[in-house]
Amino acid sequence: MSEGAQVASALIVVACLAVGFWVMAKFEPDPKDSPPASCSRSDDDVPLSKPVSGVQLCEALNRPDLATLLGTPDDRVWSASSNEATSSDKQDVMSTDPEATIQLEGYSVKLSEAVDITVADIADSEYLSVPGERKTVLGHKAFLYSGQTIGIIFKDGKGSSGPGGISRNLLVAKDPKDGGGTYEISIWRQDDLPPDATALLRVAERVLPTVPGWPAA
């Protein structure tokens, strides 16, 4: 093939690719137009045996304005899931701690309930020694602290785990007097940058009052 024919052929290929990308961009649905993720039920979910289930936590957390509260209004929700892990620390006594996780393009948000933990257990414990900041959220005692996520790395067809990004966690007493039981909201970024603690507080102030049975202070 002559040099001129090669150039012409290349231009035709480029033109076809350009038209193809234009068609895809024109007719591919905008992710924002896709239906929002609905709360799914995992195999570990158990029949509701306490005031709040994992699905109910998920429905409270999966708000239309969640991305806006996080400060990333253009983020789309990719998945919404719930879980109810059952454990036992005493013979013949089962404890169920429900939780829900919403994954967005830039953030992940988790809401969980613990029956046997108080804010004082974490904030005042000399053994756990978790550095953090005492807060008052919606008239309830709270504790704001940072944590470390676990990162999963895939290389050469193999997976390994290691330290991930920083999470910001807010423990809030269910009872205004911190008489027992807590809700915890955690956020972390997909790009491993430090998350915004102010955004975490905004989420807590909007989400917690919508959890069934939330007692006003």
Q: Each residue of 32-63: pLDDT tens digit?
A: 444 567 786 654 555 454 678 899 999 999 99
Q: Where are the alpha helices (DSSP H) in the chain?
A: 3-27, 54-61, 66-69, 119-123, 197-207
Q: Do 108 and 10 belong to one domain?
A: no
Q: What is the CA radius of gyration of the chain?
A: 23
Can you read off the two tokens belonging to residue 24? 């895809």
> Is the predicted pLDDT of residue 180 greater than 70, yes or no?
yes
Q: What confidence tier does 112 reach under pLDDT thresholds 50, 70, 90?
A: very high
CA-CA distance, 184 to 8, in Å (whole number)?
63
> Residue 4 is inside which H or E element, if any?
helix 3-27
Average pLDDT of the residues in 180-188: 94
Q: What is the pTM of this model?
A: 0.74
- Tokens 């005492």 found at: 134
User: Which of 45-59, 89-103, 160-174, 197-211 is predicted most confidently?
Assistant: 197-211
Residue 91 maps to a domain: yes
Q: What confidence tier does 126 reach under pLDDT thresholds 50, 70, 90?
A: low
Percentage of the chain with pLDDT > 90? 47
Identity of the residue numbered 41: R
Q: How many independent structural domains does the chain possess?
A: 2
Q: Do 100 and 143 belong to one domain?
A: yes
Task: Tell me the C-alpha to C-alpha distance, in Å, between residue 213 and each of 125, 180, 217.
Answer: 28, 14, 12
Contact 67, 108 (CB under 8 A): no
Please tell me the number of Cα atoms within 13 Å of 146 on its side-chain side. 11
Buried b (16+ CB within 10 A) or exposed e, 118-154: bbebbbeeeeeeeebeebebbebbbbbbeeeeeeeee
Q: What confidence tier does 163 reach under pLDDT thresholds 50, 70, 90?
A: very low
Residue 84 maps to a domain: yes
According to DSSP, the residues that pair with 134 across neighbouring strands are 143
Lowest-confidence segment of 12-16, 163-167, 177-181 by average pLDDT = 12-16
Task: Tell me the C-alpha to C-alpha distance, in Å, between residue 141 and each of 19, 123, 174, 202.
Answer: 59, 10, 9, 16
> Is the predicted pLDDT of residue 7 greater than 50, yes or no?
no
Q: Which residues constitute the domain of residue 21?
A: 1-34
CA angle 182, 163, 181 (to 5 degrees): 5
Residue 216 maps to a domain: no
Q: Where is pLDDT greater, at 215 or 197?
A: 197
Q: Do 26 and 43 belong to one domain?
A: no
Q: Do 122 and 21 belong to one domain?
A: no
